[in-house]
Chains A and B, each alone.
Chain A
């Protein structure tokens, strides 16, 4: 009982029609770096599969203070995206060179933590996802999408990610057991806007591998607003982030250690933004 069909649609419409026809029997792949591994290891036995790599969903467009990133844009392409430095920084630390050419930003949004790195900077950037079916298109906030409140319906495909042109200063850090090509022990993206007098007016602290899905440390963010970023406020934010995350234990790290590393890396990321 082998695979009967592998589709490589040349347009979004073609992809959506195939999906509407075949539903959840159809294994959908972006770059395929996660799905093909599961097929290779005998964890999945698909009968039909579809790759979105030629469906015209890659590419980056800037317009009206937003950057629209096609869902199948490769991580390698993002690593060169000067228009969104936080994203480029995260992309450069993603996987290894070959993986970056193959993996797609949209596909990575479906990868569970601790390997779903790209959600982290995108959360800090207030990104929205665009989903389409043969019937309609819609947008959803990324945090709602990740938390499952606005998840992909069976007949939908993620087509694009919309990122407002980011104000403020940002930083991204990730920690793994190795320097490259390894899932995260923890990933942190921060973005801070300050008024002329140096007080913080807005803060974003996004965490990866600190919960089952990428999350914002909203209490830590709130603790910074209205204050100057100094050793004391940064330390408080780091402590709050440690408290509000809900890390898991896996082969890479214990929950205890992940929680500690959230604190260390939130502090370091905020210090980077200040300096």
Chain B
């Protein structure tokens, strides 16, 4: 089996991998690096559950060959906060019951983070637009939108 090596920043740490040439970023994260927050809901770019941030932009990791993040910085849900030290978005999703089965949650939070990082005071329409590539089958979306509005307020208050 042929392999390639890829070196990139992952959640702030330099990471080097040897993988098969066309391995996707999603497979690299989940199966080689054992970071399971990023989900495999489809492989078609349709559900958004594999969303991660690459150089701050939302990217569908199921469609990106990991070779293409060479030299870039990748952020997964594990990189923004954990139990005991939740990112305001994570805390808001928890408070607002914005996760039921939890499978869309990672993608939703990172899509929201990408939005708030460039637009700290989004309107509801802008939030919905930023989430338009992420599907949820459980919540009906409203708790998710409210959580993001709340997180935006919290994050602005701290600044």
Interface residues of A (CB under 8 A from B): 2-6, 8, 32-33, 36-37, 39-41, 46, 49, 51, 53-54, 76, 95-99, 101-102, 179-181
Is the beta-carbon distance between A49 and B46 smaller than 8 angstroms? Answer: no
Q: Report yes or no: A40 in contact with B62, Cβ–Cβ below 8 A.
A: yes
Q: How close is A185's CB to chain B, nearest CB, in angstroms? A: 17
Stretch in B53-61, B81-89, B144-152 touching the partner = B53-61
Contacts of A46 in B (CB 8 A): 22
**B130 contacts A49, C-beta separation under 8 Å:** no
Among the listed stretches B10-18, B64-72, B93-101, which one makes contact with chain A, having 4 or more residues with CB under 8 Å of it?
B64-72
Give the CA-CA distance A179 to B133 in the complex, in Å.
Answer: 10
Q: Are B20 and A180 in contact, CB atoms less than 8 angstroms apart?
A: no
Interchain CB contact under 8 A, B1 and A95 = no
Cβ–Cβ contact A40 & B43, under 8 A: yes
CB-CB under 8 A from B62, the residues of chain A are 36, 40
Q: Is the CB of A37 within 8 A of B133?
A: no
* Interface majority SS (helix, strand, loop, mixed), chain B: loop
- Known contacts being A6-B4, A33-B45, A96-B132, is A101 close to B58, with CB within 8 Å? yes
Judge if B33 is at the interface, Cβ distance under 8 Å.
no
Q: Interface centre among B4, B45, B46, B62, by most A CB within 10 Å?
A: B45
**Interfacial chain A residues near B67, Cβ < 8 Å:** 6, 8, 51
**Does B51 contact A40, Cβ atoms closer than 8 Å?**
no
User: Are B1 and A2 in touch, CB under 8 angstroms?
Assistant: yes
> Which A residues are in CB contact (< 8 Å) with B70?
8
**A-B pairs, 4 with minimum CB distance:** A96-B133, A40-B43, A6-B21, A180-B132
Taking a contact as CB atoms under 8 Å apart, the answer to whether B111 and A98 are in contact is yes
By a CB distance below 8 angstroms, the chain A residues around B4 are 6
Contact present for A6 and B58 (CB under 8 Å): no
A33 lies within 8 A of B63 (CB)? yes
Would you give the 0/1 interface string for B127-139, flagging 1 where the beta carbon is closer than 8 Å to chain A?
A: 0011011100000
How many whole Å from A80's CB to the nearest CB in chain B? Answer: 13
A99 in contact with B22 (CB, 8 Å): no
**Chain B neighbourhood of A54, CB < 8 A:** 68
What separation, in Å, do the CA atoms of A5 and B132 have in the docked complex?
34
Chain B residues numbered 13-35 whose CB sits less than 8 Å from any CB in chain A = 20-22, 24
Beyond A2-B2, A40-B43, A53-B68, 13 additional contacts (C-beta under 8 Å) are A8-B68, A33-B45, A36-B65, A37-B44, A37-B63, A39-B22, A40-B62, A46-B22, A51-B65, A76-B57, A97-B133, A98-B60, A181-B132
Inter-subunit contact B133/A36 (CB<8 Å)? no
State whether B111 touches A97 (Cβ < 8 A).
yes
Q: Which single member of B21, B48, B60, B63 contacts A49 (CB below 8 Å)?
A: B21
The smallest C-beta distance from A18 to any residue of chain B, in angstroms, reads 14
| Distance of B6 from chain A, by nearest CB (Å) | 10
Which residues of B have CB within 8 Å of A101? 57-59
Distance to closest chain B CB from A64 (angstroms):
32
B155 interface residue per 8 A CB criterion? no
**Is the CB–CB distance between B130 and A97 below 8 Å?**
yes
